[in-house]
């Protein structure tokens, strides 16, 4: 899809997925989902397809004492 958009002269920006540990929804967060989120974010940040990246993970206020600094405030 990115290539097709580029063929039409469009710029494509990717955005990372924000942390979701500490969500009020019981059972929503799992270590497996967190590993997938991190893998997707790494692909977004390092992939060559995007013209730019909006790193929403780094724009969030992160709880420094949370596990892996992943808890949102």
pLDDT at position 21 is: 87
Q: Are residues 63 and 73 in contact, defined by beta-carbon separation less than 8 angstroms?
A: yes
User: What per-residue confidence (pLDDT) applies to 6?
Assistant: 95
What is the model's pLDDT at position 33? 96
Please tell me which residue, 66 or 1, carries the higher pLDDT value.
1
Q: pTM here?
A: 0.73
> pLDDT for 25-70, tens place per residue?
999 999 999 999 999 999 999 988 999 999 887 766 555 555 555 5
Residues 6+ apart with CB under 8 A from 68: 21, 34
Beta carbons within 8 Å of 15's beta carbon, 6+ residues apart: 44, 53, 54, 55, 56
Cα–Cα distance, 60 to 51 (Å, whole number)? 22
* Sign of the dihedral through C-alpha 22, 46, 48, 34: negative
């Amino acid at each position: 899809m990115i290539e097709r958009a580029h063929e039409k002269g469009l710029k494509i920006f990717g955005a990372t997925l924000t942390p979701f540990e500490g969500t009020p929804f019981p059972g929503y967060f799992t270590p497996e989902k967190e590993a997938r989120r991190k893998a997707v974010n790494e692909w977004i940040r390092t992939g060559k397809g995007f013209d730019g990246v909006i790193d929403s993970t780094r724009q969030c206020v992160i709880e420094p004492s949370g596990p892996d600094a992943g808890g949102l405030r």
